[in-house]
């Protein structure tokens, strides 16, 4: 995990209803920290997916590896556990997982 990614959150509110995308191949839960920060923690199963962003997002890969191409960029890059990437508001990204499950922490805003 990256040096800035926490391994747990104290005094956070977690939404029990899962966010389920792509027929269950991407699943996350939303949490709000005691400081009011909105985040999601989730799993991405093997496949290729596109996500749009409404607000700026920071994706930190905590387990596994994936390949990502951010909208507007011609090249994709590999991200493994301990690394992350930023996506601008009103943009998006393609993410591919080829083996295993990717676990992530996404921070919004």
pLDDT tens-digit series, residues 3-51: 556 678 888 999 999 999 999 999 999 999 999 999 999 999 999 999 9
Residue 46 to residue 72: CA distance in whole angstroms: 24
| pTM score of the predicted model | 0.90
Residue 57 to residue 85: CA distance in whole angstroms: 8
Domains with residue ranges and CATH for the chain: 13-108 (2.60.120.10)
Query: 80 forms bridges with which residues in the sheet?
Result: 65
pLDDT tens-digit series, residues 61-107: 999 999 999 999 999 999 999 999 999 999 999 999 998 999 999 99
Give Cα separations from 40 to 28, 33, 56 (angstroms).
6, 11, 13
């Amino acid at each position: 995990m990256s040096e800035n990614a926490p391994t747990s959150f104290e005094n956070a509110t977690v939404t029990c209803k899962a966010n389920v995308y792509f027929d269950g191949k991407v699943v996350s839960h939303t949490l709000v920290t005691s400081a009011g920060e909105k985040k999601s923690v989730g799993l991405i199963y093997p496949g290729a997916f596109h996500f749009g962003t409404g607000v700026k997002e920071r994706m930190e890969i905590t387990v596994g590896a994936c390949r990502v191409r951010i909208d507007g960029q011609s090249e994709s890059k590999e991200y493994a556990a301990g690394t992350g990437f930023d996506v601008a508001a009103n943009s998006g990204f393609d993410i591919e997982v080829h083996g295993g499950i990717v676990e992530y922490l996404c921070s919004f805003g």
